[in-house]
Amino acid sequence: MTELYYFDNSATTLKKPAAVAEAVYHAIADGQLGNPARGSHSASLNALRLTEALRRKTAVLFGGPDAANVAFTANATASLNLVLKGLLTPADHIITTVTEHNAVLRPLYQLEEQGASISFVGVDECGTLIYPDFSRLLRPDTRAVVVNHASNVTGNAADLEWIGSFCREHGLIFIVDASQSAGVLDIDMVKQHIDVLCFTGHKSLYGPQGTGGICLGDRPLAFVPVVTGGSGFHSFDKQYPKQMPTLFEAGTQNVHGLAGLSAGLDYIEQKGLAAISLQLKELTLRFHDQIKDIPGIILYGSFASDVARAPVVSLNLEGWDSGDLSDALFMDYGIAVRPGAHCAPLIHQAFGTEKTGMVRFSFSSFNTLEEIDYAAKSLRQLAEEG
């Protein structure tokens, strides 16, 4: 088989630290991990120790106020559904942005069908949020602001500290989708006034698929449990318990996956988030630098070196459909990228690319400079050959 040059890390990271695979293997092969918080025998306690340690590591990574405020879910989509449907009501007005993924938009549209209203902060021609929109859209019934930390289309990051301060000033709940930024950019829930952070485990946290979570800030929020069932305690109550982390963890946890996620977080800690962030920015800007003058290329978002970003470069080549271009990259060069709409319809509408889509290259800390140079050279060759 020809070598695969994988640049679809915003969808999921393909290469994981060896320790992640080993952790998942041992979680099963060693036969020591039972069902956490479901018994007092050693297997159940081992699983409980693992999940509690991971809550602590997660809270540290995100600057969360309390490890007990971290709950684990299957992915960011599950987290966002649990949070948005458990917290918001048909009486609420919600401010969100046109950079959101369908994991935010579709739950909000469901709430809209029930009577809630939604307003969208727009972007300028570089894909940067138009910050005055937040005040312009504010209404007396506004209850929450939901923001994508880093766009999965442009990679550009929102200024969470600014938006968090705006939310505090106006008594709004601040919910952040950190799917593309967790493990890439600094997140400090206290400093950035984040009330709810939703994350996924299988992208830049290098965990296995089927892992993710919710981290709550220090302000009490009244959630309705959306998924209910076994909790392991208060079994005779008809009502599902509302305390964290049980609130979001009905049923058996993916402990084997969480063992892998824990190793992913260790990798980030060992390498250092700041070093990873710098490396990813270097890869992104190097790629951008080498392709920006290819005849017919159209690039989306801001590549200014002082702009915080996730490692994403989305582009089009004049005369090419994004699906055809990504097929050619794969067939001729073994390059894996993601064409189309990236489940983010509104940002594509903002850029006028709803028909063509875009070709998205996205990098991980396992990509090398040589791979970046190969990708840039291949794209140039395709553009020149037409």
Ligand X SMILES: Cc1ncc(COP(=O)(O)O)c(C=O)c1O
- DSSP three-state, residue 336: strand
Q: Which of 386, 353, 111, 82 is nearest to 244 (CA)?
A: 82
Q: Which is nearer to ligand X, 195 or 376 (CB)?
A: 195
- Residue 178 tokens, joined: 């950190």
Q: Which is nearer to ligand X, 177 or 195 (CB)?
A: 177
* Residues between 64 and 93 that touch ligand X (CB under 6 A): 75-77
Whole-number Å distance between alpha carbons of 99 and 117: 18
Beta strands 93-97 and 70-73 are unpaired
Q: Which is nearer to ligand X, 177 or 371 (CB)?
A: 177
Least distance (Å) from ligand X to the CB of residue 205?
10
- DSSP three-state, residue 216: strand
Q: Which is nearer to ligand X, 146 or 283 (CB)?
A: 146
- The H-assigned helical ranges of 63-125 are 76-87, 102-113
* Residues between 169 and 198 that touch ligand X (CB under 6 A): 177, 179-180
Residue with tokens 């309390």: 66
Whole-number Å distance between alpha carbons of 338 and 342: 8
- The dihedrals phi and psi of 86, each to the nearest 5 degrees, come to -90, -15
Q: Which of 71, 103, 215, 312 binds ligand X (CB under 6 A)?
A: 103
Q: Does position 152 bind ligand X by CB under 6 A?
A: yes
Are 311 and 165 a contacting pair, CB within 8 Å?
Answer: no
Q: Does position 16 bind ligand X by CB under 6 A?
A: no
Least distance (Å) from ligand X to the CB of residue 343?
6
Q: Does position 277 bind ligand X by CB under 6 A?
A: no
Least distance (Å) from ligand X to the CB of residue 188?
19
* Residues between 202 and 261 that touch ligand X (CB under 6 A): 212
Q: Does position 129 bind ligand X by CB under 6 A?
A: no
Q: What is the CA radius of gyration of the chain?
A: 21
Q: Does position 200 bind ligand X by CB under 6 A?
A: yes
Residue ranges binding ligand X (CB under 6 A):
75-77, 101, 103, 148, 152, 177, 179-180, 200, 212
